[in-house]
Amino acid sequence: MTQQVAIDAIDRAIICQLQDDGRASYADLAAEVGLSAPAVRQRMQRLKETGLLQVVAVTDPLKLGLPVMAMVGIAIDGDIREVADAVGAIDEVIYVVLTSGSFDLFAEVVCADMDQLFDVVNARLKRIDGVKTTESFVYFDIHTHRFNWGVPG
């Protein structure tokens, strides 16, 4: 189980600012939250060390020539975490979640074309030991893709 990290109002404000502009400087963030730039740097370092904060580049799969996206539901017969590790090792899989219900895992897949998606599902996913069944949900469009959902509390 993941341990919760305690944050205060200033940490939340820093995170919210970074969700709007991940390239904001320590000086810019400091001006927004009322601290010095070194104090903001220390707070960000602490948030990164706890695993709460990552500052990353987000790409648009469509602009990278990856217009075929799907969520694949996977039913497992065996060790779910071992299968999740094997699924996550496939390059076209961008995230894997363990879940409950009809499927044990969901994997999001991005591909250049339908042939590649077919290959990922039928030649790779279905051949992983422990995969019982798969069901693919091909995306027509990404309607909402939010990164600035805020910070609770």
The interaxial angle of helices 37-49 and 9-20, nearest 10 deg, is 90
pLDDT for res 153 = 72
C-alpha span between 28 and 126 (Å, rounded): 49
Cβ neighbours of 108 (radius 10 Å): 17
pLDDT for res 41 = 96
One-letter amino acid for residue 71 of the chain: M
Domain with CATH 3.30.70.920 in the chain: 61-138
Domain 9-49 is found in CATH 1.10.10.10: yes
> Over the chain (153 residues), what is each successive 10-residue block's mean pLDDT?
85 92 95 96 95 88 91 97 98 97 97 98 98 97 80 74
pLDDT for res 58 = 82
pLDDT for res 1 = 61
Domain with CATH 1.10.10.10 in the chain: 9-49
Q: Is-contact 68 116, C-beta < 8 A?
A: yes
Domain 61-138 is found in CATH 3.50.50.60: no
153: tokens are: 């509390």
